[in-house]
């Protein structure tokens, strides 16, 4: 899954608030409910990029486990 790979490398990921991806993308500043919000999120992200990069990176297997727990419940 591209989302898991991106998160494991520290890339900030924008995600739809109504999906299970919010269980993995912990930074609520990167969630959107309406398509119109994406442009604003991208503007904030590009203006303050280093504020969105995690201080520590998750191991990909930990990220996958979090994803699977979110899917299974």
Phi, psi of 11 (to 5 degrees): -75, 135
Question: What's phi and psi for 31, nearest 5 deg?
Answer: -95, 145
Q: How many residues does the chain have?
A: 73
Note the pLDDT of residue 55: 65
pLDDT tens profile 28-61: 999 999 999 999 999 999 999 888 887 666 677 8
- What percent of the chain has pLDDT above 90? 42
Q: Is the pLDDT of residue 71 over 70?
A: yes
> Mean of the pLDDT values across residues 6-24?
89
Rounded to whole angstroms, the Cα distance separating 56 from 26 reads 13
Say yes or no to pLDDT of 26 above 90: no
User: 15: part of which helix (H) or strand (E)?
Assistant: strand 15-16
């Amino acid at each position: 899954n591209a989302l898991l790979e991106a998160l494991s490398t520290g890339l900030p990921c924008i995600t739809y608030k109504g999906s299970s991806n919010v269980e993995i993308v912990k930074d609520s500043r990167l969630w959107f409910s309406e398509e119109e919000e994406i442009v604003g999120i991208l503007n904030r992200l590009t203006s303050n990029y280093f504020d969105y990069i995690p201080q520590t990176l998750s191991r990909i297997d930990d990220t996958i486990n979090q994803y699977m727990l979110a899917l299974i419940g």
